[in-house]
Amino acid sequence: MSYVGPDFDPPQPRRPRRGPLTVALAALVPGALLGWVVYEALDGGGPDRAGSAAPASRTARASSSPSALSASPSASGDHSGGDTGADGKRPTGTPTAAGSGPLKGKVVVIDPGHNPGNFQHAAEINRTVDIGTNRKECDTTGTSTNDGYTEARFTLDLAHRLRTLLQQQGATVKLTHDGDGPAWGPCVDERARIGNEAHADAAISLHADGSAPGNRGFHVILPGSVHAGAADTRGIVGPSHDLGVRVAGKFLRETGEPPSNYLGGGTGYVTRTDLGGLNLSTVPKVFIECGNMRDTKDAALLTSGAWRQKAAQGISEGIVSFLRRS
């Protein structure tokens, strides 16, 4: 049985028999190809030449501080909503055992926002926990697309894809939850604690927003300076800022998803001091809202397995850039 989805390609039409003209033209191809190779060698062509990435995207990649990010053309997807297995699918490159690649010795904590079972445990997730500045709900159910594809399902799938890519670089990767543990949570304070106790070199919380239709785009949430109660972010504000800038630039380049048109003034960055996952972190950490699930254009991307792989690639490249910084 044939299946068209995020990990399968549709059957290709059978090629017609070649005629004499086709054969004659084929004979000219090697010479033309050789000329192209020579041209490329002389011209210094490379992956960043025009046609590989929009100039605005390259400008955003080079940025070293939060500023407006220019949008690339929107990426298309298969709109399947298919999820990966525990190790993700469609990995790029040759798998590398954790600890034996260029990121050997680096620890990354991935926090898939919410939990697919949260909606069945209202009492547990509604109890409040201390986030330093005040008390807040343990967790929430998250949002979903109009067709019922949940944020929790999205973030867990994206986390699996991202884990695979980072492990290929040799990083040790820990998830705050993996879909096979407790049926709810963990609470936001525990999510921060997992990163702290792992002594993570970088941590990222994955989300998708639930704003009004017409509001679209991604934004990266940076920790503000907090020094109250159990929270003290003063030591991580700087490196978290650096991490967020790198993730935003790479995410934009890989996905083409524009910066948010409803938060952050078009910059793609928002600073907050009301999130326990950031307030209680003692390691560099950011959140990324990958798009708005309630907008039809963004929903079409977020439900695409092919697009989620691009999102994972962009986030991974941002984290790798941060961990390999001089």
Of 68, 33, 71, which Cα lies nearest the Cα of 54? Answer: 71
> Which residue of the set 151, 254, 257, 289 is catalytic?
289
| Strand-strand pairing, 219-223 and 285-292 | antiparallel
Strand partners of residue 109? 174, 203
289 catalytically annotated = yes
Q: Which of 145, 104, 140, 80 is nearest to 298 (CA)?
A: 145
Handedness of CA 317, 210, 117, 302 (dihedral sign): negative
- Paired tokens of 42: 């002389």
The rounded distance, in Å, linking the Cα atoms of 217 and 209 is 9
Q: How many CB atoms lie within 10 A of CB 27?
A: 8
DSSP E strand boundaries for 15-166: 107-112, 128-130, 135-137
CB atoms within 10 A of CB 123: 8
With H, G, I as helix, E, B as strand and everything else as coil, classify residue 118: helix
Active-site positions? 289
